[in-house]
């Protein structure tokens, strides 16, 4: 699926999680959908965190970040946000990351090492009392809250297209202009992932991309751009039209 190609892109260019002090990749499987069209993935999540617990690498660092593969993630921005927030040291704490629904969405989950300790210690009890029939992000938040882990709030951590309401486009790179955001989600194709990254880094502007109504298959696009492909444009295309790609 798209996950492997995105991982190879990030690994090859040392982007995303590969700019962190340490990183690891854990595989999931296809899952069903629950209420709110959320993914029912709690069991997979529990299995992955057991692997994290067994490896225990997280204990070497102050913070653990769980990132979805289709999120365009900037570790340098994450560091800057944490420094600016000044969270208490050696304290169980996690971050509310978005001004949408219950303020904690799973594309970017930020937990202190002590918070991970508390969660792993209480996993079995949380699974017993909270159930397995929902999204892992809601399970995580409930488990942390139920066990006394505090939270801090930074609504500029995550831009998730699901918060934008009707009319958003999977390949639209416009949200990536916001320099405060740590991770943009979802970008499930190499072209849209790279397009978002380039816009975020100032390499390209949204108006460099083909309009979303004019895009070819696989193109990154902009909902506000009026650009169209020329008959002489090569195929396949990245979505960047008439400028360096």
- Average pLDDT for 119-123: 95
pLDDT tens, 78-89?
999 999 999 999
Report whether pLDDT(28) > 70: no
CA-to-CA distance for 32 and 107, rounded, in angstroms? 17
d(CA 58, CA 220): 35
CA dihedral sign, ordered 75, 97, 70, 171: negative
DSSP secondary structure letters along the chain? -HHHHHHHHHHHHT-GGGGSSS----------B-GGG-B--HHHHHHHHHHHHHH-GGGGSSEEEEE-TTSEE-HHHHHHHHHHH-PPTT--EEEE--SSTTS--TTEEEEEHHHHHHHHHTHHHHHHHH-SSS-HHHHHHHHHHHTT-EEEE-TTSEEEGGGG-TT--TTB-GGGG-TT-SEEE---SHHHHHHHHHHHTTSS-GGGBBBTTTPPTT--BBTT--B---TT--SS--SB-SS--
- Single pTM value for the model: 0.92
pLDDT of residue 107: 96
**Banded pLDDT at 41 (limits 50, 70, 90):** low
- Residue 39 has a pLDDT of 44
> Distances from the Cα of 171 to the Cαs of 135, 195, 220, in angstroms?
24, 9, 5
Query: What is the pLDDT averaged over residues 45-63?
Result: 94
């Amino acid at each position: 699926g798209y996950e492997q190609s995105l991982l190879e892109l990030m690994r090859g260019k040392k982007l995303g999680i590969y700019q962190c002090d340490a990183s690891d990749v854990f595989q999931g499987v296809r899952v069903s959908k629950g209420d709110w069209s959320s993914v029912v993935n709690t069991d997979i999540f529990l299995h992955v965190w057991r692997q994290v617990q067994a490896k225990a690498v997280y204990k070497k660092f102050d913070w653990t970040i769980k990132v979805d593969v289709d999120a365009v993630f900037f570790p340098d921005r994450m560091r800057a946000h944490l420094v600016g927030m000044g969270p208490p040291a050696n304290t169980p704490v996690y971050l509310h990351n978005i001004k949408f629904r219950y303020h904690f969405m799973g594309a970017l989950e930020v937990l202190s090492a002590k918070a991970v300790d508390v969660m792993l210690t209480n996993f079995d009890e949380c699974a017993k009392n909270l159930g397995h029939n929902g999204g892992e992000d809601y399970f995580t938040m409930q488990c942390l809250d139920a066990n006394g882990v505090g939270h801090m709030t930074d609504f500029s951590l995550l831009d998730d297209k699901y918060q934008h309401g009707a009319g958003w486009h999977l390949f639209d790179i416009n949200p990536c202009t916001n320099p405060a955001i740590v991770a943009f989600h979802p970008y499930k194709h190499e072209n849209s992932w790279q397009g978002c990254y380039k816009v975020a880094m100032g390499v390209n502007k949204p108006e460099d991309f083909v309009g979303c109504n004019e895009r070819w298959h696989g193109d990154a696009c902009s909902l506000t751009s009026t650009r169209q492909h020329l008959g002489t444009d090569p195929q396949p295309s990245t979505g960047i039209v008439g400028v360096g790609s």
